[in-house]
Amino acid sequence: MTRAQILMEVVDKDKKNLDTFERFIKDFIGQPKSEPITFWRDGKLFISLEHEYSYLVGDYYGEHRGGYPWIAPEVEKKAGKLGLFIDWVNPGVLSVTVE
């Protein structure tokens, strides 16, 4: 197997894990079709926390979880199992990347 083929396998696995995580997030909050919580930009997955039920995923200001930035433990656990890392872009958006 060539180096390029190995690299493509890694990229394909990473993309599959990001797709799996995106489906998990949508199912986790029961996302209505009219209100997208996830979006892709430049090949990266983002989670918007600017929607009615997005506080179930994360809450930067701690309005619902005690006054500090919070990401749902179930969301962090799923990301970890898939080899993904979640980070705050700003108070309204999380980025999901490969560790």
Instruction: Report whether pLDDT(65) > 90.
Output: no
pTM confidence score: 0.79
Share of residues in the chain with pLDDT > 70 (%): 84
How far is residue 66's CA from residue 48's CA, in Å, rounded to a whole number? 20
How far is residue 49's CA from residue 47's CA, in Å, rounded to a whole number? 6
Structural domain span for residue 35: 3-98
pLDDT at 53: 78
Asked if residue 80 lies in contact with residue 33, where contact means CB atoms within 8 angstroms, the answer is no
Least confident of 5-14, 32-41, 56-65: 5-14
Q: How many domains does the chain have?
A: 1
pLDDT at 7: 55
Q: How confident is the model at residue 91 (pLDDT cuts 50, 70, 90)?
A: very high
Write phi, then psi, for 31 (nearest 5 degrees). Answer: -55, 125
